[in-house]
Amino acid sequence: MDDFTTDNTFKEGAGYTYPAGTNVYYTADGYWDCLSGTLVAGVKGSAESIYRRGFVDITKEDIGLGDVPGRLESLEERVSRLELKIYAVPVEFRLLSKPPINGQAGQTITFICSLSIDSSGLVSKEILEKATDDITWTSSNTTIASVTGHYIRTRDNITGSIYVNILGHKSGNVTVTGTTSNGMSVNCTAVFS
């Protein structure tokens, strides 16, 4: 027997679908009836085109939400961003090296600046490092020299020295600017011969 849909000769009325193998019997009051309850004919999410039967697991992809991050993942990201906004607020950003710094074309030279974050809230080496990673470094002329990276040495959980590496490509002068997430900046001039 194939799947079937009830009509008016069935006890529950017309329009109920049952799978193949459903036991059907004739009742004393003159109607057909099924031994099982009314079954779901199939299940599908809005992103699916075919109904499924049996033990069906509906996922967020099945209902068209595959690109929505999981609730826990999204919460962790939000907490991380909030933590950085609240706790990693730079309060002092200053140049420690005395410009101009000098080097040869083809060399990497380094200047040092200091970064301090607000100590009135939660502080840690990791939060200070996050604040350092949010600094944008730019060279006034990337054909002469470019910023190749930076690293921090923390003195405590609120202050660190940032070492900024500049690679000279050819002779000339450049100004390297670092800008924090809250708009503080430092400038250092580098001269390559």
Find all residues with CB under 8 Å of 123, minimum gap 6, and list them.
87, 117, 157, 158
Residues 54, 59: Cα–Cα separation, whole Å: 15
Contact between 60 and 68 under an 8 Å Cβ cutoff? The reply is yes
The predicted model gives 56-61 an average pLDDT of 81
- The answer, yes or no, to whether residue 73 has pLDDT greater than 70, is no
Q: What is the largest CA-CA distance in the chain?
A: 107
Q: How many residues does the chain have?
A: 193
Higher pLDDT: 29 or 120? It is 29
Angle of helix 71-87 relative to helix 125-133, nearest 10 degrees?
A: 90
Contact between 64 and 49 under an 8 Å Cβ cutoff? The reply is no
Contact between 168 and 139 under an 8 Å Cβ cutoff? The reply is no
When the pLDDT of each residue in the chain is averaged and rounded to a whole number, the result is: 84
Which residue, chain included where needed, has tokens 């301090």? Answer: 116
Amino acid in the structure at residue 39 = L
- The answer, yes or no, to whether residue 38 has pLDDT greater than 60, is no
Per-residue DSSP letter, 78 = H
Q: Please report the domains of the chain, with CATH numbers, ordered by start residue.
A: 89-192 (2.60.40.10)
pLDDT per position as a tens digit, 6-30: 999 999 899 888 877 888 899 999 9
- The answer, yes or no, to whether residue 97 has pLDDT greater than 90, is yes
pLDDT at 81: 63
pTM: 0.56
117 backbone dihedrals φ, ψ, rounded to 5°: -110, 165
pLDDT at 2: 76
Q: Is the dihedral of CA 171, 177, 178, 181 positive or negative?
A: negative
pLDDT at 141: 96
